Amino acid sequence: MEEGKSLNDVQALLSSHSATNSSPESIIRAMGEVLEKTVKIPSDSNAYQRLRTFSAVVPTPIGEENLENWIDQARLMITECDCSEKEKRRRIVESLKGPTLDIVRAVRFSNPEASALQCLEALESTFGSSESGEDLYFKFRLMRQGMGEALSEFLRRMEKTLSKVVERDGLSLRLVDKVRVEQLIRGAVNSDMMLLQLSLRERTSDPPSFLSLLKEIREAEESEAARHRMSAKEKAIQFHGE
């Protein structure tokens, strides 16, 4: 409710309508008018989730976001939000504090019309890794599946690094799908049977996209999990039947 509207005010508004017409329809209309007058409904139906605070302080303080996660969220906001460039800059600035806010202030001082993306790139170049695309590509080629890590989780972890490789011109975009499949085959040291099931070694010349590959792997993982559950039930039934 807007400031100054008390419960008595609302009751008075309702009673003024009910005094002249007490039918159910008129009461419903009256309630609608009351809500319209007293409740502020945001005009923007695409109400955004605010970016979490980012200061680049290490270790990351409680309640704040680390650089990698914050950059990902901010890029998504810039790409997906249909608001103005001024509003995007405002959303970036309102989430910053300390050293990160100082950097954006310096960017805006030198170029008052700097875009939200330019602010983001300044923050990433200041506080992020200085590794080149070639360095990141070498690191990508060394990635291995962790113990107990699902193949889909390994693929998603690979994709974050691969995206940075492409961003820093360490790999041509047309080669991404092929390189992704090659590295998945090389690095998935705990998922040999699933790789055979997906026939990935035979598909390197016509590799699937990231989303298609992730979907295939998730379906295979869910199928395998269902088989394990069924096997466990059968063993339990056999045990109780003895």
Q: Can you tell me the distance from the alpha carbon of 193 to that of 191, in angstroms, rounded to the nearest whole number?
A: 6
Residue 100 token pair: 């990160």
pLDDT value at 15 more than 80: no
**What's the pTM?**
0.60
Q: Of 233 and 36, which is predicted with more confidence?
A: 233
Among 3-12, 151-160, 202-211, the range scoring the smallest mean pLDDT is 3-12
Per-residue pLDDT at 91? 93
Lowest mean pLDDT among 93-102, 167-176, 220-229: 220-229
Domain ranges of the chain: 7-38, 67-127, 133-237
Lowest-confidence region among 59-68, 152-161, 230-239: 230-239
Confidence of residue 124 (pLDDT cuts 50, 70, 90): confident
Beta strands in the chain (DSSP E): none
**What pLDDT does 31 receive?**
55
Helix, strand, coil percent content, the chain, rounded in steps of 5: 65, 0, 35
Output the pLDDT for position 48: 57
Report the C-alpha dihedral over residues 109, 110, 111, 115, rounded to 10 degrees: -80
pLDDT at 134 over 80: yes
Q: Which pair of structure tokens corresponds to residue 36?
A: 């319209």
Token reading at 195: 């790789």
Q: To the nearest 10°, the Cα dihedral for 188, 189, 194, 197?
A: 90
Could you give the percent of the chain with pLDDT greater than 90? Answer: 55
Q: How far apart are CA 13 and CA 15, in angstroms?
A: 6
Q: How confident is the model over 22-81, as pLDDT tens digits?
A: 555 555 555 555 444 444 434 443 445 689 999 999 899 999 999 888 988 998 899 888
The confidence score (pLDDT) of residue 43 equals 41
Q: Which two tokens stand for residue 130?
A: 């200085």
One-letter amino acid at 107 equals V
Q: Mean pLDDT, the chain, as a whole number?
A: 82
CA distances from 206 to 21, 202, 222 (A): 72, 9, 25
Rounded mean pLDDT, 187-209: 93
How far is Cα 15 from Cα 234, in angstroms, rounded to an integer? 67
Cβ atoms of residues 116 and 70 within 8 Å: no
Distance CA 205, CA 101 (A): 47
